[in-house]
Amino acid sequence: MRRTRIGIAQINPTVGDLRANTDKILHSMAKAKQRSVDLLTFPELAITGYPPEVLSSKPQFLKQTQESLRQIIEQSWGIAVVVGFVDGPDDSYDAAAVIEDTRLVGVYHKISLANYGELREDRYFRSGSECPIFHIRDIDMSVTIGGDIWLQEEPAMPQAHAKAEVLVNIAATPYHAADGYSTERKLADRAANGTVIVAYNNLVGGQDELVFEGGSLVIDAEGAIVARGKHFEEDLVIAQLGSEALTGHTTPTTSPLPTRLMEKPHRIAGVYEALVLGTKDYVRKNGFNKVVIGLSGGIDSSLVATVAVDALGARNVVGVSMPSRYSSPASKSDAEMLAENLGIKLKVIPIEKAFSSYLEMLADSFMNTEPNAAEENIQARIRGNILFALSNKFGWLVLACSNRSETATGYTTLYGDMAGGFIPLKDVPKTMVYQLATHRNVQAGKEVIPSSVLSREPSAELRPAHKDTDTLPPYELLDPILRAYVEDHLPIDDIVAMGFHREVVTQVAHLVDSSEYKRRQAAPGIRITPGDYCQGRRLPITNRFRE
Amino acid sequence: MRRTRIGIAQINPTVGDLRANTDKILHSMAKAKQRSVDLLTFPELAITGYPPEVLSSKPQFLKQTQESLRQIIEQSWGIAVVVGFVDGPDDSYDAAAVIEDTRLVGVYHKISLANYGELREDRYFRSGSECPIFHIRDIDMSVTIGGDIWLQEEPAMPQAHAKAEVLVNIAATPYHAADGYSTERKLADRAANGTVIVAYNNLVGGQDELVFEGGSLVIDAEGAIVARGKHFEEDLVIAQLGSEALTGHTTPTTSPLPTRLMEKPHRIAGVYEALVLGTKDYVRKNGFNKVVIGLSGGIDSSLVATVAVDALGARNVVGVSMPSRYSSPASKSDAEMLAENLGIKLKVIPIEKAFSSYLEMLADSFMNTEPNAAEENIQARIRGNILFALSNKFGWLVLACSNRSETATGYTTLYGDMAGGFIPLKDVPKTMVYQLATHRNVQAGKEVIPSSVLSREPSAELRPAHKDTDTLPPYELLDPILRAYVEDHLPIDDIVAMGFHREVVTQVAHLVDSSEYKRRQAAPGIRITPGDYCQGRRLPITNRFRE
């Protein structure tokens, strides 16, 4: 292998926007050529966006994808390219085109389709079976997509890899907060065990509930990471493949783009960036400019507003304070202080007028009944109605402020605080909401989220002296129980054995099991764990089983 | 084979209610023994209910299932039984226990797991691989579950079937309106081609979005149907297996339960019964007694109320008329007439008070804007809030009245008319809503749904002179286009070639593609087509592709 420059174009395409994605790819190719890149890779399904789901069975979509590929091939003089696309038209494949100097050298079809969490690639794609060696730019290269790189059983695979000098892997790996360095370590082992260079191009961007973090890698044949792409941003990583080894390399071009070991953000910082990118891409890619958020003065809405400002800029975020007869002066002033700290517009719309009209309208029906969740939820739903009225009038997307601890236990009002087009904290437990808020304040070196918000006892303020702990165990107890029951799906007995009171564990389990109906009606939000409740395995709504 | 009586206990279990399901099974066994049944079958997963989804990975659930099975075995003296259960505990299988005279003869594991539409059996179960012949009660019998009966490739399968005199198939086949007699014909072919008796036990009941219609079958070795179970009801079908042939048989017992060819209801009647059963089981199995429905005087809410009364009885249905400043006198009086015809309670709660408070509260924000969807949707959401307040106060389940034509095009208000715990007409196109209403009136021999409801032009009545056709093409055009685009997923060109205007087809396609976000937040409802949009293949929300 002669000295070759490999470029990893870690791009953020939009599902279905074939024109814009192709332009982005062509632009990266031009930039890479300027920097003397010999071989340039793009992420999995870069032309179409990932995951295209049912689009990949539409003939017109496949035809336009082919047309995009044709343009990319046409403009590939002077460079070799590996780019992800959907191959059709009879069967659809999650595919990689290998291109060199205006010639399509070959097409690889993904073998190991991803079918975990929300991913159901087997519904949309046929599986490939061949793994050829491509000889381009004097390199013997094998190309794999996503999990294919781990395949050991497929007969073609280890054989091909044994011959290859470089394993190109193009991927769209959903971000999971708990992953840490495990993907990196596995890829490094893969390189060292095969004495082969690994070039991993991971998608970046948000798509509905998924976030892809980028962090692409070039790993030398001894398993050392020599280059790492940015996290949660587009990037063009360039590395020099030597005759035997591989060295990180600062390109001596006019526009400086050094190959470098970008630092991987620590866990809480990573989650925060995932929330920002996921929110930004959901809003922008769906054609919205502005968002509107109900600011209660509580921690959840304060964090959502902060994430939104970091994603979209202060002028694109509108806060609405909607105090009721039960709102405390402290929470009202905290909402104001937060808006001021963030520099966002704050509308104040007290809900008393609407609330008292409902009570009058329902006076006959509610005669001789005790106040209960009915009166509480009316208030939450008035707020949902106001936010959606503003959304309908001005085209702002509503961000809802529910968190995972609330949706897991059903401690949230359908059409009330759950009302929204997107729920940034949907998969974030309450205790992590506090960590994220603290992280953001520390990062800013000042109080962005007022400290009184962080210290006040959580309350929905829907009745006098209302506290979350009236209904739920304290979050420091609740969250680990939820994790054990929902994520690790442990039996109640095992959770009790971890040191929790049986009564509390049973209460939490019953809350989870009986609130599935609410979660089914929740808006999409950002996933930071591998799947939905029980890793893509579904809890029936109609379900009389109780442990 | 000596003369043997086969019984098919077509039961309606509840997911997770192991105690009640086991009692139901034991009760059927006792009844069958009284009627000298030799071999009694139960539907797929009869002990646990179908589909148990994630429950089947809970150790406690598997343990209690084993305990239920043990009781069934213990009480099986004098009879042979085939009963569906989840076999564990290390791996979970969709299984059939073959039992004879207090002895477990063997266990069959489902081979061909169902993975279409909403079904994802591969996420919960391992696949079996063996298909033994069971010799019980002097019969050589093979047992299969669901789609296993069609397997040709599995080596064990044709071999086993070739030796069998009787193929017992236990199933949970989701109801699809378009199926007609196709399952029956396929099973009859299966019998005739193998010269073998087929005994098909199909589940009956509703579970979340699925309805199972029963209609179990006994088919002789020439392919003639000799007995058919009731549709949409529990049943015990008994047939006599002769030495060579098989004859339908009226049992000479004191409680008459003749084997008979129950008539399969015609298509619209079948859909109506599916809606009634699906609604009834969702309400009852989730522990509700009463439902509340917003009655606008329109056709959708009129049909939902009628279905609810047939499902739950008039005293368990509460109608709420919530007229606004835009409601016509005709629609108000139609809601009253319907309630009177059905004999249900009608509350009248005008929404003007709340509507004008919202307009006042939003006056500043809306200053200098033109009225648009914002003001319209406020009204729909006030109604949603009132219905949920009644639900929260009195424990009534809210039935929402959206239909499939509306949710497909997004012509429905999130948290407004979409607000509900269950949507009976979720999968019913508007043109079929009319057919169902007419069917119900004809069946009753009188006007249950007032004829003025059937003849008035569809309108949401959210602004002056509001008509559905302001936004949508007429339903007679819309529904076939939706069917072609959503169910048959045809490209726009092909739909135009069917004779529709390109402009209309394109408009409809864009409405469908851009309203996915609303459908994701919809409550569950009854499926009468094989899957969700695109047969379980999902449309991304974030999606810039437009044909």
pLDDT in tens, A232-278: 999 999 998 875 444 444 332 223 334 456 778 889 999 999 999 99
Give Cβ neighbours of residue A85 (< 8 Å, ≥ 6 apart): A45, A46, A47, A48, A65, A68, A69, A95, A96, A97
Partner residue facing A124 (CB), from B347, B374, B537? B537
Q: What Rg value do the Cα atoms of chain A yield, rounded?
A: 26
pLDDT in tens, B506-518: 999 999 999 999 9
Going by the DSSP 8-state scheme, the letter that residue A474 receives in this structure is -
Task: Report the predicted TM-score, pTM, of the whole model to 2 decimal places.
Answer: 0.94
A393, closest residue in chain B (CA to CA): B374
Residue A127 tokens read as: 């599986």
Give Cβ neighbours of residue A307 (< 8 Å, ≥ 6 apart): A272, A275, A276, A279, A424
Identify all chain A residues contacting B402, using CB atoms and an 8 Å cutoff.
Answer: none
Query: Residues 31..90 of B with a Cβ closer than 8 Å to A: which?
Result: 51-55, 57-61
The residues pairing with A80 across neighbouring beta strands, listed in sequence order, are: A39, A100
Q: Does residue B189 sit at the A interface (CB-CB below 8 Å)?
A: no
Of B432, B402, B435, nearest in space to B523 by CA: B402
Q: Is the CB of residue A302 less than 8 Å from the CB of residue A437?
A: yes
Identify all chain A residues contacting B531, using CB atoms and an 8 Å cutoff.
Answer: none
Q: Mean pLDDT, chain A, as a whole number?
A: 91
Query: Residues 105..134 of A with a Cβ closer than 8 Å to B: which?
Result: 115, 120, 122-124
Identify all chain A residues contacting B351, using CB atoms and an 8 Å cutoff.
Answer: 361
Give Cβ neighbours of residue B458 (< 8 Å, ≥ 6 apart): B298, B299, B430, B467, B468, B469, B475
Show the domains of chain B with their CATH numbers. Answer: 4-253 (3.60.110.10), 269-468 (3.40.50.620)
Lowest-pLDDT range, A114-118, A381-385, B306-310, B354-358? A114-118
Residue B255 has pLDDT above 60, yes or no: no
Q: Does residue A281 sit at the B interface (CB-CB below 8 Å)?
A: yes
The answer to whether the Cβ–Cβ distance between A365 and B414 falls below 8 Å is: no
Integer Cα distance of B536 and B174 in angstroms:
14
Going by the DSSP 8-state scheme, the letter that residue B420 receives in this structure is S
Q: Is the CB of residue B42 less than 8 Å from the CB of residue B99?
A: no
Give Cβ neighbours of residue B265 (< 8 Å, ≥ 6 apart): B231, B232, B273
The answer to whether the Cβ–Cβ distance between A15 and B543 falls below 8 Å is: yes
A205, closest residue in chain B (CA to CA): B542
Identify all chain A residues contacting B386, using CB atoms and an 8 Å cutoff.
Answer: 358, 361-362
The answer to whether the Cβ–Cβ distance between B358 and A354 falls below 8 Å is: yes
Strands A197-202 and B235-241: unpaired
A:B CB pairs within 8 Å: 249
Report the amino acid identity of residue A75: Q
Residue from A115, A121, A541 to probe the interface with B (highest B Cβ count within 10 Å): A541
Please give the span between the terminal C-alpha atoms of chain B, in angstroms, as a whole number: 62
CA distance A366 to chain B (A): 8
Is the backbone of residue A138 left (phi > 0), alpha (psi -120 to 50) or beta? left
Integer Cα distance of A537 and A118 in angstroms:
9
Q: Is the CB of residue A4 less than 8 Å from the CB of residue A241?
A: yes
Residue A509 tokens read as: 């389990």
pLDDT in tens, B431-452: 999 999 999 999 999 999 999 9
Report the amino acid identity of residue B41: T
A17, closest residue in chain B (CA to CA): B544
Integer Cα distance of A43 and B545 in angstroms:
19
CA distance B379 to chain A (A): 9
Identify all chain A residues contacting B172, using CB atoms and an 8 Å cutoff.
Answer: none
B284, closest residue in chain A (CA to CA): A542
ipTM of the complex: 0.93
Report the amino acid identity of residue A396: W
Identify all chain A residues contacting B60, using CB atoms and an 8 Å cutoff.
Answer: 491-493, 547
Averaged pLDDT for residues B464-487: 92
The answer to whether the Cβ–Cβ distance between B18 and A349 falls below 8 Å is: no
Half-sphere exposure (Cβ direction) of A2: Cα atoms closer than 13 Å: 6
The answer to whether the Cβ–Cβ distance between B388 and A415 falls below 8 Å is: yes
Predicted local confidence at residue A21, as pLDDT: 98
The answer to whether the Cβ–Cβ distance between B55 and A362 falls below 8 Å is: no
Integer Cα distance of B355 and B360 in angstroms:
9
Task: Return the number of other C-beta atoms located less than 10 Å from residue A177's C-beta.
Answer: 17
The answer to whether the Cβ–Cβ distance between A372 and B392 falls below 8 Å is: yes
The answer to whether the Cβ–Cβ distance between B282 and A542 falls below 8 Å is: yes
Integer Cα distance of A43 and A11 in angstroms:
7
| Residue appearing with tokens 């044994």 | A162
The answer to whether the Cβ–Cβ distance between B381 and A377 falls below 8 Å is: no
CA distance A2 to chain B (A): 42
CA distance B432 to chain A (A): 26
CA distance A117 to chain B (A): 10
Residue A368 tokens read as: 């001789």
**What does the H/E/C string look like for A227-291?**
EECCECCCEEEEEEECCCCEEECCCCCCCCCCCCECCCCCHHHHHHHHHHHHHHHHHHHCCCCCE
Of B48, B169, B68, B56, nearest in space to B122 by CA: B56
Task: Return the number of other C-beta atoms located less than 10 Å from residue A451's C-beta.
Answer: 12
Query: Residues 342..401 of A with a Cβ closer than 8 Å to B: which?
Result: 347, 349-351, 353-354, 356-358, 360-362, 365-366, 369, 372-375, 377-378, 381-382, 384-386, 388-390, 392-393
Partner residue facing A538 (CB), from B53, B286, B520? B53
Residue B249 confidence class, pLDDT cut points 50, 70, 90: very low
Distances (CA, A) of A82 to A56, A114, A149: 20, 20, 16
Distances (CA, A) of B390 to A372, B225, B291: 11, 49, 10
Of B235, B177, B175, nearest in space to B439 by CA: B177
CA distance A243 to chain B (A): 44
Residue B117 confidence class, pLDDT cut points 50, 70, 90: confident
Q: Does residue A497 sit at the B interface (CB-CB below 8 Å)?
A: no
Q: Is the CB of residue A510 less than 8 Å from the CB of residue B287?
A: no
Per DSSP, the three-state class of A148 is helix
The answer to whether the Cβ–Cβ distance between A414 and B20 falls below 8 Å is: no
Residue B195 confidence class, pLDDT cut points 50, 70, 90: confident
The answer to whether the Cβ–Cβ distance between B14 and A544 falls below 8 Å is: yes
Q: How many residues does chain B have?
A: 547
Q: What Rg value do the Cα atoms of chain B yield, rounded?
A: 26
The answer to whether the Cβ–Cβ distance between A388 and B381 falls below 8 Å is: yes
DSSP-assigned letters across all residues of A111-146: SS---STT--HHHH-B-----PEEEETTEEEEEEEG
Helix (H) or strand (E) holding B163: helix B156-163
CA distance B150 to chain A (A): 21
Identify all chain A residues contacting B393, using CB atoms and an 8 Å cutoff.
Answer: 365-366, 369, 372, 374
The answer to whether the Cβ–Cβ distance between A366 and B537 falls below 8 Å is: no
| Residue appearing with tokens 């084979």 | B1
CA distance B71 to chain A (A): 18
A414, closest residue in chain B (CA to CA): B415
Query: Residues 414..453 of B with a Cβ closer than 8 Å to A: which?
Result: 414-415, 419, 421
pLDDT in tens, B374-419: 999 999 999 999 999 999 999 999 999 999 999 999 999 999 999 9
pLDDT in tens, A93-143: 999 999 999 999 999 999 999 988 778 898 899 999 998 999 999 899 999
The residues pairing with A347 across neighbouring beta strands, listed in sequence order, are: A320
Identify all chain A residues contacting B381, using CB atoms and an 8 Å cutoff.
Answer: 381, 384-385, 388, 415
Per DSSP, the three-state class of B453 is helix
Going by the DSSP 8-state scheme, the letter that residue A523 receives in this structure is P
The answer to whether the Cβ–Cβ distance between A539 and B55 falls below 8 Å is: yes
Which residues of chain A are modeled with pLDDT < 70? Answer: 1-2, 153-160, 243-261, 531-537
Integer Cα distance of A315 and A306 in angstroms:
12
From the number of C-beta atoms within 10 Å of its C-beta (0-12, 13-18, 19+), residue A438 rates as middle
CA distance B234 to chain A (A): 19
φ, ψ dihedrals at B283, nearest 5°: -65, -55
CA distance A7 to chain B (A): 28
Give Cβ neighbours of residue B446 (< 8 Å, ≥ 6 apart): none
Residue A543 tokens read as: 């379900």
Residue B501 has pLDDT above 70, yes or no: yes
Predicted local confidence at residue B4, as pLDDT: 87
Integer Cα distance of B288 and B295 in angstroms:
20
Residue A28 tokens read as: 């990266």
Predicted local confidence at residue A533, as pLDDT: 47
Q: How far is CA A543 from the centre of its chain?
A: 30
Predicted local confidence at residue B265, as pLDDT: 84
φ, ψ dihedrals at A321, nearest 5°: -95, 125
